[in-house]
């Protein structure tokens, strides 16, 4: 049997360690289907195909799988229309620097005469002048495969670009005629294409930072994406405790530090930022909101990251007295060495003061949750407090809206993942499915707002959970409201006409009975309206998930 380019494409993905090809197929997939059928007959290793009935879900699942495993995955979608459906999740993946090979078929470019020429009406209307143009700003690299014998080399190039620091998604367009071309045995030099090492800071910069830390009376560490590598969190916890360095995970996307750690100082900079004489920013695109708060004029600012200037953000004006292009882990480990033996005159006083502050904050959060439990309606503090009895050391929490470590502390690095700063809603549910696929023995809890749940195309997500045996616990903080819209309106027009209606114009989002949607997919669903009923409902749902059944708790929070 002759070999076709689609076979070479799947073989190349497997050679790069791609575990899954998440697909939403169309008429452009015929060569891919044939290649999979041939691979099954010959027992060749190829990525496991995962059919996902919506493109957002496919990209979100790949994102979730990669953020748990650290391994890039591949997605293939249907021509321009499927690609367009995926762009929301692609934006999230781009801003979170998730390595991913996003590919899609290209409508056949020949009208006749070739294997795979146009054969149905849509093949004319789905052609674009520049298919990649609609997503080019969100990928590191894009290309259209021109010849079948390019398949292996094209995959090599795509994945070396996706996985090089700073990582990110790439895009490849695959014409049907090219995928179906007959090819010979291709040789690859992929074994001799070493990828560059992640960046490390210069020794002189580490020494300068160590000197500033030693002299600082009120240092402050702000994190955003620190913790993507779980070793970051371990090193940060050790350094923060030893030198009394307060940590604020601000709009964090990963577990950076446990709320039980004495140097955890909440999730907003607040007064610590104004008092700080040294602000160390780890992998944070927006370390504070300048229109609301800023550090003092004399404070030294240090920006650290693999892309500390966040070059893909068109406008970003945060100051920096020392900018380090380096991974968080390499800086933290280098600082441990550089700080040894230095005179640290302020550590003892700072340790006592910050430990007392941390204890006070935890007491405040605990009392707030207790009061919420005695209220007439469910609030965010009570919901998070009740999750304490569900989430254990072997759980993964995916947050798209309402999870707060202040009320439900986590202790394990790699246990928390949150929505990208791009804010493309609908990420949490499919990401939780990808996380479950990557960690089938762990309890995966997806904490969503009602809008985030609807944006996720929940029928497609519940379908995948059912068909692929990926039971996750979905907890919806349902306030029947576009909260961000309301907050923005009241911030800008606190005394405007819109405020007379509490800023709810265009923000009200009446919600259906979400618990019935999961029931339609053989899942366990409950609706909870009273605070006293929530703990038991969450425990029943978690038990169902641990027993192999997906579950959803619709928590009404007016």
Q: Note the pTM of the prediction, 2 decimals.
A: 0.95
Q: Which domains does the chain have, with CATH numbers?
A: 3-192 (3.40.50.970), 203-359 (3.40.50.1220), 375-556 (3.40.50.970)
Q: Is 286 in contact with 145 (CB distance < 8 Å)?
A: no
Whole-angstrom CA distances from 132 to 141, 370, 417 are 10, 52, 29
Instruction: Outline where 387-513 has alpha helix (H).
Output: 428-438, 450-455, 458-467, 483-492
pLDDT in tens, 243-260: 999 999 999 999 999 999
Strand order in the sheet with 278-282: 247-249, 219-223, 278-282, 300-305, 322-325
Instruction: Outline where 479-533 has alpha helix (H).
Output: 483-492, 514-519
Q: Which segments of the chain have a pLDDT < 70? A: none
Say whether 253 sits in a helix, a strand or coil. Answer: coil
Q: Is 545 in contact with 472 (CB distance < 8 Å)?
A: yes
d(CA 136, CA 492): 33
Instruction: Please give the backbone phi and psi of residue 118, each rounded to the nearest 5 degrees, phi first.
Output: -55, 135
Task: Give the pLDDT confidence score for residue 1 in this predicted structure.
Answer: 76
Q: Is 241 in contact with 276 (CB distance < 8 Å)?
A: no
Output 286-290 pairs: Cβ under 8 A, ≥24 positions apart. 286/224, 286/250, 286/251, 286/316, 286/318, 286/421, 287/222, 287/224, 287/250, 287/318, 288/222, 288/250, 290/317, 290/318
| Residues 6 or more apart whose Cβ sits within 8 Å of residue 291 | none
Q: Is 25 in contact with 32 (CB distance < 8 Å)?
A: yes
Task: Give the pLDDT confidence score for residue 482 in this predicted structure.
Answer: 76
d(CA 509, CA 479): 8
Check whether the bond before 213 is cis (ω within 30° of 0): no
| Residues 6 or more apart whose Cβ sits within 8 Å of residue 447 | 387, 397, 398, 399, 400, 401, 402, 403, 428, 475, 477
Say whether 508 sits in a helix, a strand or coil. Answer: strand
| Residues 6 or more apart whose Cβ sits within 8 Å of residue 392 | 443
Instruction: Outline where 223-262 has alpha helix (H).
Output: 230-243
Instruction: Please give the backbone phi and psi of residue 327, each rounded to the nearest 5 degrees, phi first.
Output: -70, 150
Which tokens go with 367? 């009392």
Q: Is 108 in contact with 118 (CB distance < 8 Å)?
A: yes
Which tokens go with 89? 């999740």
The secondary element (H helix, E strand) that includes residue 474 is strand 473-478
d(CA 506, CA 485): 8
Strand order in the sheet with 20-23: 48-51, 20-23, 73-77, 100-106, 169-175, 142-144
Q: How many CB atoms lie within 10 A of CB 156?
A: 17
d(CA 351, CA 360): 14
Helix axes of 55-69 and 458-467: crossing angle, nearest 10 degrees:
60
Task: Give the pLDDT confidence score for residue 414 in this predicted structure.
Answer: 97
Which tokens go with 202? 């210069």
Question: Hunting for tokens 């292009």 — which residue is that?
Answer: 325
């Amino acid at each position: 049997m002759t070999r076709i380019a689609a076979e070479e494409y799947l073989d190349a993905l497997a050679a790069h360690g791609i575990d899954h090809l998440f697909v939403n197929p169309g008429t452009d997939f015929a060569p891919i289907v044939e290649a999979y059928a041939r691979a099954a007959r010959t027992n060749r290793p190829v990525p496991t195909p995962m059919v996902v009935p919506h493109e957002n879900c496919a990209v979100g699942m790949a994102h979730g799988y990669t953020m748990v495993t650290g391994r890039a995955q591949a997605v293939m979608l249907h021509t321009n229309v499927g690609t367009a459906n995926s762009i929301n999740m692609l934006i999230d993946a781009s801003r979170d620097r998730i390595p991913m090979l996003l590919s899609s078929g290209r409508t056949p470019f020949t009208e006749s005469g070739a294997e795979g020429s146009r054969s149905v009406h849509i093949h004319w209307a789905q052609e674009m002048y520049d298919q990649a143009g609609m997503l080019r700003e969100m990928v590191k690299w894009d290309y259209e495969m021109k010849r079948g014998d390019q398949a292996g080399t094209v995959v090599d190039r795509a994945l070396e670009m996706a996985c090089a620091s700073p990582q990110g998604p790439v895009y490849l367009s695959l014409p049907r005629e090219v995928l179906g071309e007959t090819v010979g045995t291709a040789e690859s030099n992929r074994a001799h294409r070493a990828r560059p090492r992640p960046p490390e800071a210069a020794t002189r910069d580490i020494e300068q930072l160590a000197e500033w830390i030693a002299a600082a009376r009120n240092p402050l560490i702000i994190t955003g994406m620190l913790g993507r590598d779980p070793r970051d969190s371990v090193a940060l916890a050790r350094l923060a405790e030893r030198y009394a360095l307060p940590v604020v995970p601000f709009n964090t996307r990963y577990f950076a530090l446990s709320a039980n750690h004495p140097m955890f100082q909440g999730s907003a900079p607040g007064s610590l930022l104004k008092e700080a004489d040294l602000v160390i920013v780890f992998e944070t695109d927006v370390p504070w909101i300048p229109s609301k708060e800023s550090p003092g004029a004399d404070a030294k600012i240090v920006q650290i990251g693999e892309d500390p200037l966040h070059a893909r953000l068109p406008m970003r004006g945060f100051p920096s007295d020392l900018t380090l292009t380096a991974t968080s882990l390499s800086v933290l480990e280098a600082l441990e060495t550089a700080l040894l033996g230095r005179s640290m005159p302020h550590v003892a006083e700072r340790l006592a003061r910050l430990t007392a502050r941390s204890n006070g904050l935890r007491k405040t959060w605990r009392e707030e949750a207790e009061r919420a439990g005695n209220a007439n309606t469910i609030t965010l503090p009570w919901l998070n407090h009740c999750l304490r009895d569900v989430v254990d050391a072997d759980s993964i929490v995916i947050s798209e809206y309402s999870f707060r470590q202040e009320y439900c502390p986590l202790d394990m690095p790699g246990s928390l993942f949150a929505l990208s700063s791009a804010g493309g809603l609908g990420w949490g549910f499919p990401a939780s499915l990808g996380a479950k696929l990557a960690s089938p023995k762990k309890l995966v809890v997806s904490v969503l707002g009602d809008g985030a749940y609807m944006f996720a195309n929940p029928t497609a997500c519940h379908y995948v959970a059912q068909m692929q045996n990926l039971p996750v616990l979905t907890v919806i903080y349902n306030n029947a409201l576009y909260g961000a819209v309301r907050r923005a309106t009241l911030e800008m027009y606190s005394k405007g006409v819109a405020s007379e209606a509490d800023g709810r114009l265009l923000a009200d989002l009446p919600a259906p009975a979400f618990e019935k949607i999961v029931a339609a997919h053989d899942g366990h669903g409950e609706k909870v309206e009273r605070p006293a009923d929530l703990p038991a409902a969450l425990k029943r749902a978690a038990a169902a998930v641990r027993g192999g059944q997906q579950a959803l708790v619709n928590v009404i929070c007016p």
